[in-house]
Structure 1
Amino acid sequence: MILTMSRPFAIYIGLLGVATLVVIAWPPIALFGLFLGVVPGIFFWVAPSLFVYSLLWWSTRAAIQQTPIARRAQAGLLRFVVPAFSAAIIAVPAVLIPYLNNMRAEEVAQRLRDSDREPDEPIVLPETVALVMDGNYNWPKKKPFCETLCVRLLFNSSVARVIAVDPAYGSTAAFWIERREVCPDRPNLNFDVRWTTDFPLTRGDTPEDRVRARIAGGECLMEGDGHLEEATATISYRHVQKGTTIFQRPWSLQPGPPVVNRLEISNTSGATLYRRTEVILIDLTTPLQIATAAGLLTTVTYAGWARYNKTLGQIGPHGRDVLPYILRDAVKTPEKNPH
């Protein structure tokens, strides 16, 4: 029995094939399709996946119909059983492949987090603390900033001295507070990392506003030379593994190693008081789908297997999602006027 594609199905596959080629070659067309109406946008969005699964289904169905068992079966039975069986054959790998890949990725992530230590009680810090933060670097000064955590510890009087360290360049700087009539101009501080506990923000009363007001009132943030050896406790935020992003290896079923960040607090003897490892996985969607993406304000586009980021042990940039809960009042929003 020679199976030929029906005219309606051939037209259907032809239209999907053209749409698939267009949207993979130029992903923004799916976005512009939404501007023309919901239906064109959805059509371009689902076209690649629908084309692949439809063609696989038809090919599987055609192959089954050529088997001796199918040839001997009644025509009525073929009409219902073979299409359903063909769909099941296609559905099984479409579900199993992402499920098994994602499960293996989570097993790797769990091994990376096996050494984590998260005590229930808050951690009490000594007078001198080192902050080792990846990416905390003031390019003009060639030294680390007193960033958000540093500022909070000092202006809450939780510590007397902070040794800021940038591990990438090996540079250090010491920060402390002195009361003076006139403070040095342009203190080396930075509030780029916003903590979720600070929201909602009130105009004129942000953590940065409060700190700058206190500096203007004579609580001067001083900066000088410092050495890591001075500290009797260390808080570190490090990029353990760069990993891959969702835009890399778009057509590989194995997305590559995950992004791994780690927040640690240790004492002067090197004993770990706290450790949390953040693992950012790139999971495949279930079932397998082909995705395209583009934005209005960016030239970055994506065409490949549909994926999504999954974060285990979230700590946020510089540990902002964890530090408010493990250091408690030591890192609360500084008071407007503590006196």
Structure 2
Amino acid sequence: MNTPSSPVSPAAEPRLTSLSHGGGCGCKIAPGVLSEILKGTSALPVPKELLVGIETADDAAVYRLNDEQALIATTDFFMPIVDDPHDFGRIAATNAISDVYAMGGRPIMALALVGMPIAVLSTSTIGRILEGGASVCREAGIPIAGGHTIDSVEPIYGLVALGLIHPARIKRNADAKAGDVLVLGKGLGVGVMSAALKKAKLDEPSYRRMLQSTTKLNTPGPELAAIDGVHALTDVTGFGLAGHALEIARGSGCTVEIDWNAVPLLEGVSPLARDGFVTGASGRNWAAYGAEVSLDSALPAEAQALLSDPQTSGGLLVSCSPESVDAVLAVFKQHGFHAASPIGRVVAPSGAAKLRVHSR
């Protein structure tokens, strides 16, 4: 895979975020529009070996290879969420690999997806993006074994990520059980911070906090999948905490309740949200699924925006038995996820709302 050539001087380049109409997982097509698009697609034959497909909007496809191994396949790519090329590559790669961990698997290799405006960006900048992604793959212990490049109007970078898992340990997003506790692995607020960054209103300490969160690999996934009491697993990305909690609720036929006061937030995010630093994707998310959410009137004004805030490389969301909570938190802590916290529970279906958020 060759890096495209470009005559552009690095000194003449614009900010990366100025080249994208939406950054990170905020680029995702809104869930309502996506549902409408997929509604018109023809159903294809599904082989019995395909253990996880598109039926519950899960994080990755899973295909049984034999009695001991199943292949996890996923892809994720987006436009810049930050201006530093190396940081952009790191964030995008971390985000893509996360879907393997979210199924409970271990990554084995990746392919790079690269679309760059070669008349606008220098080869050195493009190379730094790719090196950022490669550094994360080295951290994950996997090679980038190939990929594809195109000349694109906007910068795009991401990975195809492949992993392996024992078929008995696959953790779907649809297998939560009434009585389960929900545990979130990372704090919310990446979309809010990225909105502030794009308007040059994010200070350096806040940028570092955002970077630390978005480049931290969700390595607890395989160990969480090995805990008998863990029933469902996903990661919180472009549809926000509310959107991915709703996927769990719909798939399992239950209702999810979230205690807002228990939800971890990245430091400094609430004031930014109150000041209006909210992505357009947050509004599109809420327009798509807000009718399924019941909000306590005592919630702070920024809660809705943070619930629908698109998380780039967000945390794992675990649905587990109450008896397993301590073991789940211990795994998170062992991997350095000190913000991990129980945030709610799964209950029997009741009423029209699939998700209830309260403040106690």
Quick check: which has more Rg, 1 or 2? 1
Q: TM-score, normalised by structure 2?
A: 0.19
